[in-house]
Amino acid sequence: MSLIQNFPIFIELIITMHKLFLLVLLFARATALAGNPIGLPDIVNYEKTSYNGGTQNWDIQQDRNGIMYFANNEGLLTYDGTYWKIYPLPNKTIVRSIALGLDSRIYAGGQDEFGYFSPATNGKLKFYSLKNKLPEKYRSFADIWDIVGNDKDVYFRTEKAIFHLSNNQVKVIPATSQWVFLGLAGKKVVVQDKQKGLAFLKSGSLSKQFLPLPENFLTTSVSVFSADTVLLTTMNHGIYTLTEGALKTLDSYGAPNLRNRQILQAFRDVNGMLIIATNNNGLLVVNKKGSIVYNFTKNTGLQNSTILSIHEDHNKNLWLGLNDGIDFIASNNAIRHINPDIFAEGVGHSSIIFNNTLYFGLSSAVYSMPRNNTGDISLSSGNIKYTENTGGQTWGFDIVENHLLLGKHEGAYSMSGNSATNFSSDKGYWKFLYYKHKHFKDPILLAGNYNGIDIFSYNSDGYKLLGPVKNFHESARFITVGNDNLIWASHPYKGVYKIDVTNLENPEVKLYTKARGLPSTFNNHVYTVKGRMVICTENGIYEYNKKGDSFAPSEFFTKIFRRLYIRCMKEDPDGNIWFIQDKNLGVCKFSGGKPELIFIPELNGKLVSGFEHINPIDKNNILVGAQKGFYHINFDKYVHNSNSIKVQFSQVRAIGKNDSLLFGGYFGEVNEIKKQQMFPEVKYALNSFHFEYSSIVNKNQANIQYSYYLEGFDKTWSAYSKRTEKDYTNLPYGNFIFKVKARNNFGIESVAAVYRFSISPPWYHTWFAYTIYSLIIAFILYQVYKFQQKKFINQQKRFEEEQRRLEYLHQLEIDKSEKEIVKLKNEKLETEIEAKNSELASIAMHLGQKAELLNKIKGELDKLNKHMDQDEHQMELKKILRTLSSEEKADGGWDQFSIYFDKVHTNFLRDIKSAYPNLTTNDLRLCAYLKMNLTTKEIAQLMQISPRGVEISRYRLRKKLQITGETNLFEFFKDFKLEKRQEGLLS
């Protein structure tokens, strides 16, 4: 057979060998440390690369603001929860010891240097040396190994002398042989001289008697043990109690077993535990019975096992100064890690309490331990043991009819004590459900598995397979039973199934997908919560609508979870709903009345993605499956530990071409709680700002968010985010107040931290500049005024000239108009004259014709009279001739014509007669006819002469008028005026 054909057998062989190896390993590790709590507090490692300082940390302090201080190889190291800062000594030597004095300063001692750090005017720590206060002979020394502050006294220990600072004066207490220890326990200052032994220091004076000590006895720490008793530790002689008159070996806490442990420091915590830092055995936590509750070493999470210093902070958590780095132990944290060696760092898939036994289901096997108390399980001590016959992948526990059932990759098991019995092994099983069927007298068991749902019956002989649910062959990891006794199952990428097994022979199976109201066919999970069958979808939580036979968003849960994608839901005994949204653990807290969503970010990234497990046992015990074992949450403690929150500024910088530190973190002395007293004003060139802020928390910053608001610039508070810094660029000048507040995952907000500052105006906005501007503006206005005045005068002149020009033009227009009027009048007169002339011509012609007619008649009558014989007839003809002669005399009235002509032509004939008296009547008649512009023919007819005679008359008239032949007589008579003629004659 080929390798490909044998591949399934080959894989099965490998799996079998792996199981055998795993069983051997589990049995080899089956014995756990007796008496140790199963839950370990989280440990945070701060490597020197993270705090950017030296390797060793010799001493630790914490001020009232929560800031941590470390005596580091490279200087004084500070940490405010987010930002690390280091302040070196002037001579750049190791800082061996630090202490907070009553004056709120932090005192520090190094090699050949000692003094204190105090904030400068900008709030940045500055070192002030006290070395110059020493007598000259003591100014050269080695290390300051210990510093203690007691009331107004501060003591600094070197091997040769102790320096006593009081009232700003330094006195020297020399050693008889060598000062090997200086420490403070409450109000008692304890010192050890290598030869003379122990003594107490009060107000700079040693007690009268020294307590003698055994040879090579080296005191390493003192702390308060009881009201009048001091707890004293030694390097190799164990632990003692010290009173004013006696030194006794400590009898409790298994002190005799702690000899030769190289104890460097120890104290008793509020829970009565003895916390012991050792030189090479890590950190020990010992109870009164002498049992080592915890032993934190490099193997359990510390960076190394040499602990040079230890400090319990305000939140009762521990800070360790190590030989290489700094560690934080969240000893008072409500979250602990359950991952003993026996788990072999397996993945936590399931857990349950049954018959007072706590079971853990991991990717490797099932482990169990008795539950010793009803309180916090993580503090329980006991042996965690491997449960027989459970090797391999564990999926889940379920209690059905008071039986504990286990679903594994290898099959279905029934748990009894510390062993498991397989009752079905042909496939992997996920989940088990109680089910009541009308065809069965007793309840039956539904078992969701890789290939569908199996039905089991139960009797005294055990579980019996009745068969699978027919018509359904999908993986049934998520199944539940609704109130209508219907089975609901969800498939990760096919949808949701409704299964009605009323007829077991032909169950009704119906698939619901996007077409039936679900937002998507993928990623649907079915659960029963608050007595409701719900579907957790990518677009929120849905519920089944029986009338429409479809799904719709849940009115109840949508108000709480909105459209969040919930992957897992579990209800606790108090009615709270624990859930996993994406990869974040949260709880919907109902106990306060109004539902409240609370996220627990400390576990982000630590859960089992895709196979999440939550076991909310009670308010003190929530177990969550993790990538390595389990996490335990004491929810009641978690809630109470999260009520206090405070935010403070770490740094404020003004940024321009060169940065300027405005605030270095302190408004007052190191150990003072003060608000800002000085409000800086910066130059306009530094109008960009960088703010850093932080909040001191129990463990880390994972559950803290910040919101900021720059009053005078921002319109409203910013949205909450995890950013601990904010930058503003190119701010305008003026007064500003920067505010920042913090909020934890419970929605509790801190009081806003406030920083006030102002930006001075640029030089062009100063009072001096405004004065210059005012003068310039006044000058400009004056010049404008003068210019406008001159312009006005010029305009006035131009206006007057224009007015004169306009008047002239107006006059010209008037003259022109008058001339036009005169012209029109003249034209009218000429027209009228022409009309009159025409009329006169017509009259003249008529008179001429009449005279001519009369002459013809007279001529004819004269001829007739000559030839008439009868006298009677001649008398009649003569009578007629006389009548015609009288008529001719009457009609030939030139005088009448001349009078009419002068009326028309304004006394023309009279004026020309006056001008030329020698003119005859015929001359005047010719003048009148010429004035009328009659033709030669017309004139000849009127004057009854020939045209030649008219020409001769014209010639004669020119001579009388004294005009040349070039002058047109009509034009002459047209323009003739008597006045002009007289003026011409006078000239």
Residue 459's pLDDT band (boundaries 50, 70, 90)?
A: confident
Residue 452 region by backbone torsions, left for phi larger than 0, else alpha for psi between -120 and 50, else beta:
left
When pLDDT is averaged across residues 878-905 and rounded to a whole number, the result is: 67
Most confident listed range (245-249, 383-387, 447-451, 699-703):
447-451
Please give the pLDDT value at position 976: 80
Mean predicted confidence (pLDDT) in 697-703 = 65
Residues 6+ apart with CB under 8 A from 278: 261, 262, 263, 264, 284, 305, 307
User: Has residue 253 got a pLDDT over 70?
Assistant: yes
What's the confidence (pLDDT) of residue 534?
A: 96
Q: E strands, 475-549, where?
A: 478-481, 487-491, 495-500, 508-512, 525-529, 532-537, 540-545
Residue with tokens 């509790």: 748
The answer on pLDDT for 28 being more than 80 is no
Tell me the sheet residues that pair with 360.
351, 367
d(CA 174, CA 162): 6
Helices (H), 31-141: 48-51
Sort strands 161-166 and 153-157 into parallel, antiparallel or unpaired.
antiparallel
Instruction: Give the pLDDT confidence of 37-50 residue by residue, as tens digits.
Output: 889 998 999 999 99
Q: Which two tokens stand for residue 576?
A: 């709270």
Type of residue at 856 = K
**Confidence at 696, pLDDT banded by 50, 70, 90:** confident
Q: Among 36-40, 502-506, 696-700, 894-898, name the one with the lowest average pLDDT.
A: 696-700
The predicted-structure confidence for 473-532, as pLDDT tens digits, reads as follows: 999 999 999 988 999 999 989 999 999 999 999 999 999 999 999 999 999 999 999 999
Asked if residue 425 has pLDDT above 70, the reply is yes
**Confidence category of residue 34, pLDDT binned at 50, 70, 90:** very low
Average of pLDDT values for 404-414?
96
The pairing of strands 577-581 and 75-79 is unpaired
Which H or E element spans position 630?
A: strand 630-633
Residue reference for tokens 């709120």: 104
pLDDT over 90 percentage in the chain: 59
| Spatial strand order in the sheet of 525-529 | 525-529, 532-537, 540-545, 550-553
Q: Is the pLDDT of residue 409 over 90?
A: yes
Q: Rounded to the nearest 10 degrees, what angle do helices 978-986 and 908-915 cross at? A: 20
CA gap 80, 71 in Å, rounded: 15
Question: What mean pLDDT, rounded, does the chain reach?
Answer: 87
What does DSSP assign to residue 258?
G
CA distance 909 to 668: 130
Average pLDDT on 588-609 reads 87
- Nearest-angstrom CA–CA distance, 861 and 863: 5
- Determine the Cα–Cα distance for residues 506 and 489; give it in Å rounded to an integer: 17
Rounded mean pLDDT, 159-171: 95
Spatial separation of the C-alpha atoms in residues 750 and 645, rounded to whole Å: 5
3-state secondary structure of 82: coil
Sign of the alpha-carbon dihedral angle for 719, 724, 727, 732: positive
- Which has the higher per-residue pLDDT, 13 or 276? 276
- Cα–Cα dist 90/131, whole Å: 12
Angstrom distance (rounded) from CA 664 to CA 690: 12
Structure tokens at 777: 């503006």
How much is the pLDDT for 795?
Answer: 83
Residues 6 or more apart whose Cβ sits within 8 Å of residue 700? 44, 602
pLDDT digits (tens, 9 = 90+) for 290-341: 888 889 999 888 999 999 999 999 989 999 999 999 999 998 889 999 998 8
pLDDT digits (tens, 9 = 90+) for 817-856: 777 777 777 777 667 766 666 666 666 666 666 666 666 7
Q: How far apart are CA 936 and CA 632, in angstroms?
A: 150
Cβ-based neighbours of 592, under 8 Å, separated by 6 or more: none
Q: Could you tell me the sign of the dihedral formed by the alpha carbons of 165, 167, 169, 175, in that order?
A: negative
* Both tokens assigned to 26: 């589990």
Q: Which of helix, strand or coil describes residue 681?
A: strand
Q: Which residues contact 759 (CB under 8 A, 6 or more apart)?
A: 681, 682, 683, 684, 686, 687, 731, 732, 733, 734, 736
pLDDT at residue 467 tops 80: yes
What distance lies between CA 344 and its chain's CA centroid? 45
Which amino acid does the sequence have at 643?
A: N
Q: In this structure, what are the phi and psi dihedrals at residue 780, rounded to the nearest 5 degrees?
A: -60, -45
Judge whether residue 29 has pLDDT over 50. Answer: no
Q: pLDDT value at position 911?
A: 83
Greatest CA separation for the chain? 218
Residues 622, 607: contact at Cβ < 8 Å? Answer: no
pLDDT at 454 > cutoff 80:
yes
DSSP string, 906-957: TSHHHHHHHH-TT--HHHHHHHHHHHTT--HHHHHHHHTS-HHHHHHHHHHH
Give the distance, in angstroms, between the CA of residue 933 and the centroid of all CA atoms in the same chain.
Answer: 108
